[in-house]
Amino acid sequence: MVRDREFTVADVRRVLRKHWWIIPVCGVGCAALSASVARQLPKKYTSQAVVLVGKPTVDTEYVKPVVDEGLNQRLASMKEQVLSRTRLEPLIEKLDLYHADRGKLQMEDLIERLRAAIEISSLEPMPGTQDRSIPGFSVQVTFDNPRSAQGICTEVASIFREQNARALEQTAVRTASIIGQQLAEAKAKLDEQDAKLAQFKRQYIGSLPQEGQSNPSLSSTLNSRLKANTQALSLAQQDKAFDESHLSEATANSKVSRSKANPQTLVEQLRAEQDQLTVLESRYTAEHPDVIKANNRIMELKKRMAETSNSDKTPAPSQTASQAPQIQQLRSKLRQDEVRIADLTRQQTKIQDQMRLLEGREQASAMVEQQRKELTRNYQSALDAYNDLLKKKQDSAMAIDPAHQQEGEQFRVLDPPSLPTKPSFPKMLYFAGGGLGGGVLLGLAVLYLLMAMDNTLHTEKEVEMYLKLPVLGSLPVMEFFAGRTGDARPLKRSLLGKD
């Protein structure tokens, strides 16, 4: 007897020994029932195709892919497009699916049933590989007809391939268009920066850093030229002063020579010429034209003094006339000196202007260098952006090329859609195994109920607990044979009753 729903090992053994047959009967019965139900259920067939993602045959270092979106994102986007109404409705019409239910159900319901029959799952990457991108995906179609399942799987795999090729082409065309617009804008900015830089170079020519390196040598050259010009101008001015003095002396001598020659006057002239010769010899060498002319004049004066001492008469007209060319030469030389001084003065002014301009450039070099760096940096940035967009445009143009598309990423069917020969649902073994397991559980539940409903007493302890009386004695279990030979029936008797 079970008390307070507490079972002992003896109770379990007793029930199993007596009613063990209930478990196999329930298991076999439920398994047979499940198999019978499985035979009555509508059968479903599953066709599967495996699609791999082919890697580009050209190294991405040389040809950059235009589409850099992850395969998971692309696959999710394409899955939504493939399973859309615009794709599935023509598929139903093409393969004549759900022919018997078209008059009963709306097209939306049929599309939803077909969408539920298609399963798309990603393949796991091979273990041990560094590339963790998915290698591909599988397409599974479960339908009530094996031919229809295979046809649907074939169409879905084909739609994926077409959709991928179209997506790559559309993305490449769209990318090329956007990059073309950006390239035109970058070209305009580059031309603008180039024009600014050219205008800056024209405006600050000579003040640029590469030209500033020659400024010290140019300044030294200008200083040397200015020094030489100053010295030449000083000598020219001295020559002019000397020629003016000679001209004035020659003019005075000419006037004196027209009158009676005075020995005292000739002596004074000779003394003056000798003093002038001394000054010239201190400045020039003996071969200098002015020194030679001074010697000639001294010799002429000495000659005249000698003639005057011989004759007290006035000089002959030929002597007076001989001094006129000398005066003309002095005046001509004086004009040359003036022209030379004017030319040297202009050159000196020009050199000084150049030196002032050079000094101004050197003072403004810091500001010019800062502006140049800014303009150069802007120009280089615009040039880099233009070159980058130009390369992207070339890559996008190659992506549009069908020959390049054949070398790019593609979907390739590894396992074509299979023609199922056995139904994927219901599986007889699964149903039978499930029925067997359920029957065993049912048998155990029946045994539990039998133990729970058992009110008989089996041990002395149960008698004392239930009757509240002590047990005086007990008889062991006795077995004897009754009836004819071979017919033996065990009998169990006790003082408590018969079991």
| Amino acid symbol at 192 | E
pLDDT, greater one: 409 or 380: 380
For 398-401, the CB contacts below 8 A with 24+ separation are 398/63, 399/65, 399/66, 399/168, 399/172, 399/175, 399/176, 400/169, 400/172, 400/173, 400/176
Q: Which two tokens stand for residue 409?
A: 């990423």
pLDDT reported for residue 452: 78
Alpha helices in 408-475 (DSSP H): 428-453, 460-467
Q: Give 463-476 pLDDT, tens digit per residue.
A: 777 777 777 777 76
Q: Give 165-176 pLDDT, tens digit per residue.
A: 777 777 777 877
> What's the CA gap between 493 and 474, in Å, rounded?
10
Helix pair angle (317-363, 215-258), 10° resolution:
160
pLDDT of 496 above 50:
no
pLDDT, greater one: 358 or 136: 136
Phi, psi of 123 (to 5 degrees): -85, 145
pLDDT reported for residue 321: 46
Q: Which residues touch 69 (CB under 8 Å, ≥6 apart)?
A: none
Domain boundaries, the chain: 9-41+426-455, 45-182+391-415, 260-313, 459-499
Distances from the Cα of 119 to the Cα of 47, 223, 329, angstroms: 10, 92, 121
Q: Choose from 1-15, 407-421, 429-443 the range with maximum mean pLDDT.
A: 429-443
Pick from 256, 247, 261: which is nearest to 293 by CA? 247
pLDDT of 183 above 50:
yes
> What's the CA gap between 110 and 152, in Å, rounded?
14
Rounded to the nearest angstrom, the gap between the alpha carbon of residue 166 and the centroid of all alpha carbons in its chain is 25
pLDDT of 488 above 70:
no
pLDDT, greater one: 368 or 267: 267
Mean pLDDT within 364-384: 78
pLDDT reported for residue 499: 41
Q: Which residues touch 161 (CB under 8 Å, ≥6 apart)?
A: 51, 410, 411, 413
Mean pLDDT within 171-187: 82
Q: Give 232-285 pLDDT, tens digit per residue.
A: 888 888 887 887 777 777 777 666 555 444 555 667 777 887 878 887 777 777
pLDDT reported for residue 62: 46
Pick from 155, 165, 72, 75: which is nearest to 114 by CA? 155
Segment among 130-139, 162-171, 186-195, 218-227 with least mean pLDDT? 130-139
Class of residue 495 by CB neighbours under 10 A (exposed 0-12, middle 13-18, buried 19+): exposed
Mean pLDDT within 330-354: 84
Q: What is the residue-averaged pLDDT of the chain?
A: 75
Encode burial over 157-191: b for 16+ CB neighbours within 10 A, e otherwise: bebbeebbeebbeebbeebbeebeebbeebeebbe
Specify the 3-state DSSP secondary structure of 57: coil
Considering the chain, what percentage of its residues have pLDDT values greater than 90?
0
> What's the CA gap between 6 and 448, in Å, rounded?
11
pLDDT of 379 above 70:
yes
Class of residue 66 by CB neighbours under 10 A (exposed 0-12, middle 13-18, buried 19+): buried
DSSP state of 29: H
Q: Tell me if 197 sits within 8 A of 375, measured CB to CB.
A: yes
pLDDT band per the 50, 70, 90 thresholds, residue 495: very low
pLDDT of 371 above 80:
no
pLDDT band per the 50, 70, 90 thresholds, residue 207: low
pLDDT reported for residue 261: 47
pLDDT reported for residue 55: 66
45-182+391-415: CATH class: alpha beta
DSSP string covering 275-314: HHHHHHHHHS-TTSHHHHHHHHHHHHHHHHHHHHHH--SP
